[in-house]
Chains A and B, each alone.
Chain A
């Protein structure tokens, strides 16, 4: 950071062009990153930022976190803060840098550490300035550069620059950017740089596409690289896969006793699938997930023999162990790298680079591919759900790697179906017997897939917290787990509903939608520009039989409702018959991407659903 006399202004807010100050929380006055490749095993990363923060919404920009580990070092870290006139308030002292373990919440041990700085002020606007350098004793990835990271941010000046020897030129890909990189050779090194000036804030629409499709950014990746002695190239997925293959190579040796054991276990199995299931469940019973990430261990699995001996490992180790066992009984299987998480942004299939956070296993199984999640002791065989289902993943093969889509879960297989008998008394109190089955991705609705494995007391709490009825007591309940490839959970409830129906004089009001009322309201948006994305497809079926007290007749029965749209279908109706009242509801939502102009139609669809779901029946007492 250049030294400035304490009394001369450096970042006066008045120097920001008026247009960049409209509708912003922060302005990036300067945002520079330089990634320098020194050799295929050494790189440095330089960041310089000056950010003016206008209000509390921009507070996070005053906080910087710099990560490092055993193979990377923060070689310098400086920061300062300036007032609205651009006068220095203070420079950061080294004692104000908080250095701590980057506890990720699940790793037992990793060597990632962070340095954290907080320069936030209480008087706005103010400007923070950060400058730091990191030295990497490896080359494997290049940090992404986002010109704009969120709404209400404008950019005055920003630069992304790569410096490299000619033979180690990195690959790059830019998104939502029309600036072309400029090449400037200097000191025997090549360089590429993108410069951005006066970028206005962007506006994001709710329920829009993943941010990586919308925000302007540049991704980079090395060609040749080296990580703790493991050399590779990643111009193609095949090359990337070969490098992973090298890391994994020789790590699939099982102890002789285990070999014999798994052969014996599978000896009686009639089909391959049966064998795979036996070994999967054996793996589940023998191991547990313990995450230990050290150096190359962030990418290389423990040896199968270590997992066999200790009974634990992380996703890589357990997946490698599973592949090793399958190989032993003659079933080919692949180690798979994937981006896990129900809101993970999709893999960029056209840009080979380190993009993954998880490993699973795929078994070709003669065309009927099976996907195995190896880090859970309770996961049903063959089920991968919202964690890794329906997305692109990298299957590591003998020759290299292939990009494949994992198992899909279409809307008509993700079904929540419910039947109930409700006995309503004239006082408004009621008894209800409810059976709900959660199938497909709905197996994960309200974490019922976890609840089925809980202790009785905790299951009871789950029932109490996830039964959407205003006030009730639980007489009894049970949860049943069906661990199939398309798994399901069944929840049986016997409930006492106090004042379920509202009794006003001679009238009884009752909402026939017992416990599945939609409350979703689409946010109002003017002039939507982005497509509408529905992340999941599902179907809900409710069939509720009401047994009514004697001597009442309906004053008002709602008309049947049927709504059809490109987003899904909805139907509900009340039928009065000799046994009482029957309520039937069906809601289907499909997964997909829809044009921006369909947003109002989408909002109206749910408006209609909400209205129909909240409709009441009015009963009159004959006396």
Chain B
């Protein structure tokens, strides 16, 4: 966010100062029922409750500048020791250059009930700190004195900012319940805002009240939520920020009478045009002339465009290491190639630029990674994106390319990118594109084992990893090296390995295999002429990962999965099969998941094949009970035994 210095002809404007709204509670006046509250009636397990959270944002226009003010007034009840962390408050303050947001009128008081009397303790200045967090963020921190179970904490402040386009969003929901949450956003008529609500809770009040000040109108947007439940985190959700109840605001444009409209946000179309002309984006793709020589050299003699793309992709993937930063704008590509590493945008803009140099039709695609949350397409705000990849069109075929991951072949996006749709930035093909997985996470475990009468198993276990599973394997294997990888692999296995072989570790377009020749002694039970054996010597789903009975948010696997286990067992001479597990087929509705367990016997050979497929990545809450039961049945099926009897 930049501080915009406007050439406003302010002579036209009289000083504008919004008439402040009122916080629903008055500082220092704590009702006795809140002082004596022992448990919160709406949620008896709450460790603290935000009694009142009030905010108000408005801009002030003076002859010299425009400032944004944000007043906040919060009152919190501490119920249990668990809730003490509510007493440490942290306010991030944005800074850029010499401009910095600042806190004024900070007040904070702790109220305790002692012998029937309310005792107040004010924040002491030893308890206030300001800390530089990084280049752009300072943290204003303070901690309440004298906090006990039963305390009521109250604070208020005004944040003053020159970054007036940075209208604060408002979060209604926190990890403790909120009794009353109220926000006033006072938009001057000249400022047009886009806003969107997220989360599953509707506001109790939403209204817009026009207000007249001296010279122009203000639209006062007013939201209230009552009795907001605590937000509970759950496993398998993409991003907590997608689900908390929150109103998001962004300034879209400014219209001052007698002046041209100033677009702040604009439209996707405008963003498209701007980005095509931007340094670090479109300009850097078409510029960066120094890459031409290398791009030509890499593709000399090639005629097939796909082959050319592959050559350039492989070169960028190998030459530039991703530094873990997700972003949209590239730095100077010359420096990036010197440093041999860069951000996601650096790498993919470099890729696009090299492709452009040899006349491959390439465009950039903006997206939001899974940990960054959903994109709301109706709100054209570039801040919804945090990542950029490339799209190449070859005839009627399109290819999405991301060269940040060394272990994924061309055309398969990293899992972090699989999040809804991306926005193609292009002169000719601007629009949205699905970011769907082009591969599964597929693992096949193939065992060929010979059982001897003492219960020892001897043979081979072969793993084949494909798609995202191959990526995961290669990541682990190359991060640690073979020796360390094997250490980790064997950490939970009582196997005697005779030899291990790895295949295709570096051939990322192919599946990767590991083959172990081994002896297993601890797996089979031999007793009184009977032998009992679970056909899974490895890869058994022993526990249901979905432990909770109900689910508040969708389950997101990210990509389709397939896990196959094959058991080819030779039974010892002198033994016959007494009992085998029964075959089974189960399906989730609409083939969202499928499990098959098949069994056959030929002579002294028993064959069992278990195959689990999850065919879609997102399961909504209504589907959760089915999904959980599906896994329950898999756990039970995979626990079944082969029974052999001595003849």
Chain A interface residues toward B at CB < 8 A: 55-57, 89-90, 98-101, 103, 108-109, 118, 120-123, 285-286, 288, 290, 292, 306, 309-312, 377-378, 428, 453-458, 461, 464-465, 468, 470-471, 473-474, 498-499, 502, 504-507, 509, 519, 521, 523-524, 555-556, 558, 607, 610-611, 614-616, 618
Contacts and interface: CB of A to CB of B under 8 A. Distances in A.
B141 A377 contact: no
A457 B232 contact: yes
A509 B44 CA distance: 43
A465 B491 contact: no
A611 B522 contact: yes
A123 B87 CA distance: 49
B81 A100 contact: no
Interface string B478-498: 111100100100111110000
A108 B88 contact: yes
B585 interface: no
Contacts of B149: 285
B632 A556 contact: no
Interface in B118-152: 121, 124, 126-127, 129, 131-134, 141, 143, 145-149
B4 to A, nearest CB: 25
Contacts of A507: 579, 641, 643
Interface in B73-90: 80-82, 84, 87-88
Given A310-B126, A457-B232, A523-B491, A502 B639 contact: yes
B341 A290 contact: no
Interface residues of B, number: 72
10 contacts: A109-B141, A122-B319, A310-B124, A453-B81, A454-B82, A458-B45, A505-B579, A509-B640, A555-B530, A618-B532
Contacts of B359: none
Contacts of B47: 455
Contact of A101 (B133, B340, B491, B530): B133
B636 A499 contact: yes
Contacts of B494: 521, 607, 610
A101 B548 contact: no
A498 B637 CA distance: 12
Contacts of A615: 525
Contacts, number: 169
A118 B340 CA distance: 12
B133 A498 contact: no
Given A101-B133, A288-B147, A471 B581 contact: no
Contacts of A457: 45, 232
Contacts of B480: 57
Contacts of B143: 108, 290, 312
A455 B46 contact: yes
A455 B126 CA distance: 32
Given A100-B133, A122-B321, 6 more contacts: A99-B134, A288-B87, A455-B80, A457-B45, A499-B633, A556-B528
Nearest to B84: A288
Interface of B: 44-47, 80-82, 84, 87-88, 121, 124, 126-127, 129, 131-134, 141, 143, 145-149, 232, 318-321, 323, 338-341, 478-481, 484, 487, 490-494, 522, 525, 527-528, 530, 532, 542-544, 547-549, 579-582, 631-633, 635-636, 639-641, 643
B81 A57 contact: no
Contact of B82 (A56, A312, A455): A455
Contacts of B643: 504, 507, 618
A295 to B, nearest CB: 14
A108 B525 CA distance: 57
A108 B131 CA distance: 10
A42 B579 CA distance: 81
Nearest to B479: A56
A504 B641 contact: yes
A290 B126 CA distance: 12
Contacts of A616: 525, 532, 641
A524 B544 contact: no
B547 A556 contact: no
Nearest to B149: A285
A470 B547 contact: no
A504 B581 contact: yes
Given A57-B480, A121-B341, A288-B84, A471 B321 contact: no
Contact of B320 (A122, A378, A473, A618): A122
A458 B133 CA distance: 32
A456 B45 contact: yes
Contacts of A99: 134
A99 B133 CA distance: 9
B148 A286 contact: yes
A109 B491 contact: no
Nearest to A503: B640
Contacts of A288: 81, 84, 87, 147
A521 B491 contact: yes
Nearest to B151: A311
Which of B81, B490, B491, B636 has the most A CB atoms < 10 Å from its CB? B636
A120 B548 contact: no
B405 to A, nearest CB: 12
Contacts of A312: 143, 145, 147
Given A100-B133, A509-B641, A121 B323 contact: no
- Sorted from nearest, which 10 A-B pairs have the closest CB atoms? A122-B321, A455-B45, A499-B636, A311-B146, A310-B145, A456-B45, A109-B129, A464-B547, A471-B544, A377-B81
A465 B543 contact: no
A253 B494 CA distance: 61
B479 A310 contact: no
A241 B640 CA distance: 65
Nearest to A474: B549
B490 A499 contact: no
Nearest to B643: A507
A377 B47 CA distance: 14
A122 B636 CA distance: 46
Nearest to B341: A122
A120 B80 CA distance: 47
A102 B532 CA distance: 57
Given A57-B480, A109-B131, A290-B88, A311 B148 contact: yes
Contact of A502 (B134, B340, B641): B641
A112 to B, nearest CB: 11
B478 A471 contact: no
B627 to A, nearest CB: 13
Nearest to A524: B490
B522 A504 contact: no
Contacts of A122: 318-321, 340-341
A121 B318 CA distance: 11
A310 B639 contact: no
A428 B639 CA distance: 12
Contacts of B547: 464-465
Contact of B145 (A309, A471, A509, A618): A309
Given A108-B88, A377-B81, A607 B632 contact: no
A611 B241 CA distance: 46
Nearest to B110: A311
B287 to A, nearest CB: 22
